[in-house]
């Protein structure tokens, strides 16, 4: 009924459709509200119309910030907040502000400023997806912007050194996670049984912390101690992000398919080997049955060695 | 911002004296205004002051349960995020206001050329911050719309209750009162910002109620709005 809408955003890994919190928020909201978006993972933000990801293109309209994209989707009648009362709508705004003020600096720090994380995970991941020669410049730029943002918003006196700022932002982030956990309680989503804008934003911020494997993971460890938030992320991933069609399937679907293929291959190999074993057993009955275990272990890798072991 | 503290301390029934000093920023331990000076301790900024007062045995939010405390913190962040940033934007990034009001007011205690240098420096600092959080690209209309959205949310949350968490005032009430009263009473070039707030009658009633309850007895001589705004300008 509406014009076709196309969303361009960063790609994903570690079971997530995207690593970028804002892109995740928009994708989650689109899934919750049923908006038919085609998702393009582009890894060159300079090719995006406004130089910033995520960006939504619908006919001639180009919208670039998550809040504006969500507003646009609502105007197109894809509204996930339809059932909320006015007070709940107000609460949504307040909690989103809390997430942006308290959790986002620590998220940015974990991804872009923490030296070990940045050098071993973030930079290689982004660099491997951005084309040459932009990959030499863009990750560094994003890192500098993140540090700038953290220092300008949180780094005033009485915090005089980067370590003090870091300690403060992680304290704030842990407090924010605790507050979110208390607010979520035991319900499935923040406002009952149907997901809303707040769930989209919370998912966008929590999922990267939860899923991405970093060497320095103090925030992830804290999050893992709050089981209702982990369950919240997992629920959204399984319910809303596994069911996409293969045209633009997320990385999770790919790995599931690959795993399924591997499993099928393994089963086939094993059945072949078992058949061969049966034949051999019939020919030479003194072969001890413990060969079975070596067969099973080797079946995952090479098939030639058990074959050679079997043949007398 | 000063008014938030005064309101908060009044709500805790703690007597305070307000003093205006030109070098107040330098006296403060964190460089931020306002700060309180109690005995031989000096504490600045809302968070530490609230904790300090709590440690002395006065707390406004003890009666709230965990979920309500989470909500209170979230709303305080909303106010800080939206209203405070909007106030800063209007003061320092809107060229007309900057030229006519902010520069003279900020530099007034100092002789020329120090007043110009300091105000330009502050302006440059604030603009950098706006750029980092993405507000630099916003126009005045967008900022006003954000303020409107924030006031709408606050108005919805307040509803018909006397305070945000029903019967007792909390830190959130003090914070909201401080910001809204400032917006309503400070004279700017245009009245658009205060008009936005005046659209929500329960918010204006809320401000008036707190003013009457906590400030009327305290400020006998300077209960006029003009005096209060000029006093505040020196403290900032």
The beta-carbon neighbor of A89 closest among B69, B82, B156 is: B156
Exposed e or buried b for every residue in A17-26, given b needs 16+ CB within 10 A?
A: bbbbbbbbbb
Q: Which of A21, A52, A89, A93 to mutate to test the interface with B (most CBs of B within 10 A)?
A: A93
In A131-250, which residue ranges form alpha helices assigned H by DSSP? 138-154, 162-184, 197-211, 218-224, 227-241
**Is A94 in contact with B30 (Cβ distance < 8 A)?**
no
Residue A145 at interface with chain B, using a CB cutoff of 8 Å: yes
The beta-carbon neighbor of B74 closest among A86, A97, A148 is: A97
Residue A168 at interface with chain B, using a CB cutoff of 8 Å: no
C-alpha distance from B75 to closest chain A C-alpha (Å)? 5
**Is A179 in contact with B73 (Cβ distance < 8 A)?**
yes
Q: Give residue-wise pLDDT tens across range B174-212.
A: 888 888 888 887 766 667 777 877 888 888 888 888 888
B65-234, what's its fold? Glutathione S-transferase Yfyf (Class Pi); Chain A, domain 2 (1.20.1050)
Chain B positions touching A89 (Cβ under 8 A) are 153, 156
The pLDDT value recorded for residue A47 is: 64
Residue B57 at interface with chain A, using a CB cutoff of 8 Å: no
The beta-carbon neighbor of A101 closest among B81, B152, B157 is: B81
The beta-carbon neighbor of B75 closest among A86, A94, A182 is: A94
Q: Which long-range contacts (CB under 8 A, 24 or more apart) does A185-193 make?
A: A185/A228, A185/B67, A186/A228, A188/A232, A188/A235, A189/A232, A190/A95, A191/A83, A191/A84, A191/A88
Per-residue pLDDT of chain A (312 residues; tens, 9 = 90+): 456 788 877 777 888 888 888 888 888 888 888 888 888 877 666 666 566 677 787 777 777 778 788 888 888 888 877 778 888 888 888 888 888 888 888 888 888 888 888 888 888 888 887 777 777 888 888 888 888 888 887 766 556 677 888 888 888 889 888 888 888 888 888 888 888 888 989 998 988 888 888 888 888 888 888 888 888 888 888 888 874 433 344 444 555 566 666 677 777 777 777 777 777 777 766 655 554 444 444 444 444 444 444 444
Residue B32 at interface with chain A, using a CB cutoff of 8 Å: yes
Residue B71 at interface with chain A, using a CB cutoff of 8 Å: yes
Q: Give residue-wise pLDDT tens across range B58-76.
A: 666 666 777 888 888 888 8
The candidate with the shortest Cα–Cα distance to B70, out of A264, A203, A308, A182, is A182
How many residue pairs bridge chain A and chain B with CB atoms within 8 Å of each other?
Answer: 77
- Confirm if B6 and B231 have CB atoms less than 8 A apart: no
* 3-state helix vs strand vs coil in chain A, percent to 5: 65, 5, 30
Highest-confidence segment of A264-268, B141-145, B227-231: B141-145
C-alpha distance from B203 to closest chain A C-alpha (Å)? 14
Using the predicted structure, report yes or no on whether residue B30 has a pLDDT greater than 70.
Answer: no
**Is B75 in contact with A152 (Cβ distance < 8 A)?**
no
Chain B positions touching A97 (Cβ under 8 A) are 74, 77-78, 80-82
d(CA A243, CA A171): 37
In terms of CA atoms, which chain B residue is nearest residue A145?
A: B132
Residue A284 at interface with chain B, using a CB cutoff of 8 Å: no
Place of tokens 């596994």: A242
According to DSSP, the residues that pair with A56 across neighbouring strands are A7, A63
The beta-carbon neighbor of A158 closest among B29, B80, B156 is: B29
- Token pair for B64: 């709230």
Residue A179 at interface with chain B, using a CB cutoff of 8 Å: yes
Chain A positions touching B149 (Cβ under 8 A) are 93
C-alpha distance from A252 to closest chain B C-alpha (Å)? 32
Using the predicted structure, report yes or no on whether residue B153 has a pLDDT greater than 80.
Answer: yes
C-alpha distance from A297 to closest chain B C-alpha (Å)? 52
In terms of CA atoms, which chain B residue is nearest residue A85?
A: B156
Residue B130 at interface with chain A, using a CB cutoff of 8 Å: no
**Is B152 in contact with A94 (Cβ distance < 8 A)?**
no
Backbone angles phi, psi at B22, to 5 degrees: -75, -30
Residue spans of the domains in chain B: they are 65-234
C-alpha distance from B196 to closest chain A C-alpha (Å)? 17
Exposed e or buried b for every residue in B19-35, given b needs 16+ CB within 10 A?
A: eeeeebbeebebebbbb
Q: Who's near A162: CB < 8 A, 6+ residues apart?
A: A151, A155
The beta-carbon neighbor of A182 closest among B67, B128, B129 is: B67
C-alpha distance from B43 to closest chain A C-alpha (Å)? 11
Residue B134 at interface with chain A, using a CB cutoff of 8 Å: yes
**Is A148 in contact with B132 (Cβ distance < 8 A)?**
yes
The beta-carbon neighbor of B128 closest among A89, A94, A152 is: A152
Mapping DSSP to helix (H, G, I), strand (E, B) and coil, where does residue A141 land? helix
Using the predicted structure, report yes or no on whether residue B229 has a pLDDT greater than 50.
Answer: no
Burial zone of A264 (CB within 10 Å; 0-12 exposed, 13-18 middle, 19+ buried):
exposed
Chain A positions touching B80 (Cβ under 8 A) are 97, 101
Residue A65 at interface with chain B, using a CB cutoff of 8 Å: yes
- The CA dihedral of B208, B214, B218, B221, to the nearest 10 degrees, is 0
Q: Who's near A27: CB < 8 A, 6+ residues apart?
A: A7, A9, A17, A18, A37, A39, A241
Residue A133 at interface with chain B, using a CB cutoff of 8 Å: no
Residue spans of the domains in chain A: they are 5-241
Using the predicted structure, report yes or no on whether residue B146 has a pLDDT greater than 80.
Answer: yes
Residue A186 at interface with chain B, using a CB cutoff of 8 Å: no
Mapping DSSP to helix (H, G, I), strand (E, B) and coil, where does residue A9 land? strand
Dmax of chain B from CA atoms?
Answer: 54
Residues in chain A: 312
A5-241, what's its fold? Glutathione S-transferase Yfyf (Class Pi); Chain A, domain 2 (1.20.1050)
Please give the average per-residue pLDDT across B100-110, as a whole number: 75
């Amino acid at each position: 009924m509406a014009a076709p809408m196309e969303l361009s955003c960063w790609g994903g890994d570690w079971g997530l459709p995207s690593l970028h919190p804002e892109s995740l928020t928009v994708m989650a909201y689109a899934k919750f509200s049923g908006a038919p978006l085609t998702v393009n993972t582009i890894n060159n933000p300079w090719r995006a119309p406004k130089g910033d990801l995520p960006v939504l293109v619908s006919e001639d309209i180009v919208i670039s910030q998550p809040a504006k994209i969500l507003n646009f989707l609502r105007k197109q009648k894809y509204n996930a907040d339809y059932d909320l009362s006015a007070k709940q709508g107000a609460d949504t705004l307040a909690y989103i502000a809390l997430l942006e003020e308290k959790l986002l600096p620590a998220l940015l720090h974990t991804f872009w400023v923490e030296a070990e994380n940045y050098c071993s995970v973030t930079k290689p991941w982004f660099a491997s997806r951005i084309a040459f020669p932009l990959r030499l410049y863009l990750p560094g730029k994003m890192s500098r912007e993140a540090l700038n943002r953290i220092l300008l918003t949180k780094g005033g006196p009485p915090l005089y050194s980067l370590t003090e700022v870091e300690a403060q932002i992680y304290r704030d982030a842990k407090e924010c996670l605790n507050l979110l956990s208390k607010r979520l309680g035991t319900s499935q989503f923040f406002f009952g049984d149907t997901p809303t804008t707040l769930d989209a934003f919370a998912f966008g911020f929590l999922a990267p912390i939860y899923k991405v494997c970093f060497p320095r993971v103090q925030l992830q460890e804290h999050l893992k101690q709050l089981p209702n938030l982990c369950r919240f992320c997992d629920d959204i991933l399984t319910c809303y992000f596994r069911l996409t069609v293969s045209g633009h399937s997320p990385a999770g679907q790919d790995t599931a398919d690959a795993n399924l293929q591997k499993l099928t291959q393994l089963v086939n190999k094993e059945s072949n080997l078992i058949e061969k074993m049966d034949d051999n057993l019939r020919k030479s009955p003194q072969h001890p049955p413990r060969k079975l275990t070596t067969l099973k272990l080797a079946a995952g890798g090479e098939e030639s060695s058990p074959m050679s072991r079997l043949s007398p | 911002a000063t008014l938030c503290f005064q309101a908060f301390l009044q709500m805790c029934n703690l007597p305070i004296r307000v003093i205006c000093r030109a070098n107040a920023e330098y006296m403060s331990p964190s460089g931020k205004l306002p700060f309180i000076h109690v005995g031989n301790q000096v504490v600045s900024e809302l968070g530490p002051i609230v904790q300090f007062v709590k440690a002395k045995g006065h707390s406004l939010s003890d009666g709230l349960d965990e979920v309500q405390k989470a909500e209170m913190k979230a709303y305080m962040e909303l106010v800080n995020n939206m209203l405070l940033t909007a106030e800063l934007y209007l003061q320092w990034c809107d060229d007309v206001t900057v030229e006519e009001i902010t520069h003279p007011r900020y530099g007034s205690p100092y002789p020329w050329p120090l007043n110009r240098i300091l105000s330009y420096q502050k302006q440059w600092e604030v603009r950098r911050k706006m750029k980092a959080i993405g507000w630099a690209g916003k126009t005045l209309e967008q900022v006003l719309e954000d303020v409107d959205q924030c006031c709408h949310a606050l108005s919805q949350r307040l509803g018909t209750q006397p305070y945000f968490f029903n019967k007792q005032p909390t830190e959130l009430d003090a914070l909201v009162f401080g910001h809204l009263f400032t917006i309503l009473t400070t004279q700017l070039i245009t009245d658009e910002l205060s008009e936005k707030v005046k659209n929500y009658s329960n918010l204006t009633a809320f401000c008036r109620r707190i003013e009457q309850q906590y400030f009327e007895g305290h400020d006998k001589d300077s209960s006029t709005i003009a005096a209060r705004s000029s006093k505040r300008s020196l403290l900032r």
